[in-house]
Amino acid sequence: MIQRPKGTKDILPENSYIWQFVEKNSKDIFRNYGFEEIRLPVFEHTELFQRGIGDATDVVQKEMYTFEDKGGRSITLRPEGTAGVVRAYLENGMASLPSPVKLWYNMSMYRYENVQKGRLREFHQIGAEVIGTGSYEADVEIICLANRLISSLEIENIKLTINSIGCPTCRKKYQNVLREWIGKNLEKYCETCKDRFEKNPMRILDCKEKTCNELNKGAPIVLDYLCEECKTHFDNVKQMLNRIGLDYEVDGSIVRGLDYYTKTVFEFIDEDGLAILAGGRYDGLVKELKGQDTPAIGFAMGVERLIEILMKKQIELNIPKPCIYIAQIGEEANIFATQLVEILRGKNIYAQKDITGKSLKAQFKYADRIGSKYVLTIGDIELKEKKANLKDMLTGNEETINLDGNSAEKLIKYIKVK
């Protein structure tokens, strides 16, 4: 038997309801915050991610699904959504729209990761991007939105952690300090980290190798090297969060794994230390992708990680059950039942009938298993007499329904009146 590739998941019908619940909840929240949906291609030119996410990141160096298409172009399955959103923003002239442009997405992502708890190779992100403002108020609004997505699902023990990783100006100073600090033990780091030492030492701080992780403990933090502008921006964000009463912790060790981040970064962490949602400001990305200098901020929520938590909670899901099952026996009754379910379905009623040739007894059993509210039984004799038996499956009450004239209308009135 062919099995699904490692790091992928099948979302079976019983779980799809929890997905629909999360998706509907997020969609409503995005609308209330003034965000509009964007849908993008699953694959992009590899260069977009190399330029956007950064050559020295784990994502670009180790985790991308990259291949050459039949035309010899290098193509990559999207490992994240932000670079694609900015590409689409520029390509479709969205810079001329009223600013800021607020977009949300729900998309599958692909990363060739070491598969473990919370780390898949195909996963989904529900994300949001605000393009066109560098204000600290935008940081606060996007953090509020992220917080609402999580708190609306009543998930407990999720902690909001924030940090500032500065801008290219303050980072230059910080990188020198960091190089000096890491340099003392450089020979003990993994080969990838050694390679990153000159190019981008900050990436060494989020290396997933255990030894590097240990070595990184106690490293200088970028927060201590912020320039005046970045410091004021971060102070304003914190102050506003305090004033509106949103709890957070400052964690100077957050560096994020993608190169485009500037200033405010944040993560919503669960009890096991896994990030359920993460994001930050990326003021240089639009320019990096050949647009005008345009500040932006956003986040993405890991849907599988969130659903894993929700599955442990008893949440009431809206699982649809058939309103009526038409059990039939005999050729004419079969035709009549087929016409009847078609009319009912056309009137937005969830109706089922047998399509496998089951016995009447087996049809009843099936109707019960799928949780149908009513079962209408029609045989050729009943048809001739223009009546049928309607059973309320919950109470067990049975009544004879007159099928004379417009039988569908009569039935609809009857089951709606009940």
Whole-number minimum distance, CB 122 to ligand HAM, in Å?
8
Cα 184 to Cα 219, 250, 397, distances in angstroms: 11, 28, 82
Cα 388 to Cα 93, 114, 360, 399, distances in angstroms: 62, 60, 14, 8
Binding mask 238-257 for ligand HAM (x = CB under 6 A): -------------------x
Segment lying near ligand HAM (by CB under 6 A), choices 169-177, 295-303, 326-334, 367-375: 295-303
Q: Are 324 and 291 in contact (CB under 8 A)?
A: no
Whole-number minimum distance, CB 302 to ligand HAM, in Å?
2
Structure tokens at 403: 């099928």
State whether residue 381 is helix, strand or coil.
helix
Pick one of 275, 337, 376, 401: the residue that binds ligand HAM (CB under 6 A).
275
Whole-number minimum distance, CB 90 to ligand HAM, in Å?
16
Under the criterion CB under 6 A, does residue 113 sit at the interface with ligand HAM? yes
Under the criterion CB under 6 A, does residue 279 sit at the interface with ligand HAM? yes
Whole-number minimum distance, CB 59 to ligand HAM, in Å?
7
Under the criterion CB under 6 A, does residue 280 sit at the interface with ligand HAM? yes
Whole-number minimum distance, CB 226 to ligand HAM, in Å?
20
Binding mask 67-106 for ligand HAM (x = CB under 6 A): -------------xxx------------------------
Q: Are 403 and 391 in contact (CB under 8 A)?
A: no
Residues 6+ apart with CB under 8 A from 279: 127, 142, 146, 265, 266, 297, 298, 299, 300
Under the criterion CB under 6 A, does residue 353 sit at the interface with ligand HAM? no
Under the criterion CB under 6 A, does residue 141 sit at the interface with ligand HAM? no
How many helical (H) and strand (E) elements, i.e. helices and strands, does the chain have? 15, 16
Cα 360 to Cα 329, 364, 372, 392, distances in angstroms: 6, 6, 15, 17
Pick one of 38, 143, 202, 277: the residue that binds ligand HAM (CB under 6 A).
277
Q: Which of 156, 121, 140, 134 is nearest to 315 (CA)?
A: 156
Under the criterion CB under 6 A, does residue 284 sit at the interface with ligand HAM? no
- Number of residues located near ligand HAM, criterion CB under 6 A: 27
Under the criterion CB under 6 A, does residue 354 sit at the interface with ligand HAM? no
Q: Residue type at 1?
A: M
Q: Are 94 and 26 in contact (CB under 8 A)?
A: no
Q: Which residue has the tokens 């004799």?
A: 381
Whole-number minimum distance, CB 260 to ligand HAM, in Å?
8
Q: Residue type at 130?
A: V
Under the criterion CB under 6 A, does residue 278 sit at the interface with ligand HAM? yes
Pick one of 52, 54, 100, 127: the residue that binds ligand HAM (CB under 6 A).
127
Structure tokens at 325: 């099952």
State whether residue 321 is helix, strand or coil.
coil
Per CB under 6 A, residues contacting ligand HAM are: 80-82, 111, 113, 118-120, 123, 125, 127, 129, 257-258, 275-280, 282, 298-300, 302, 304-305
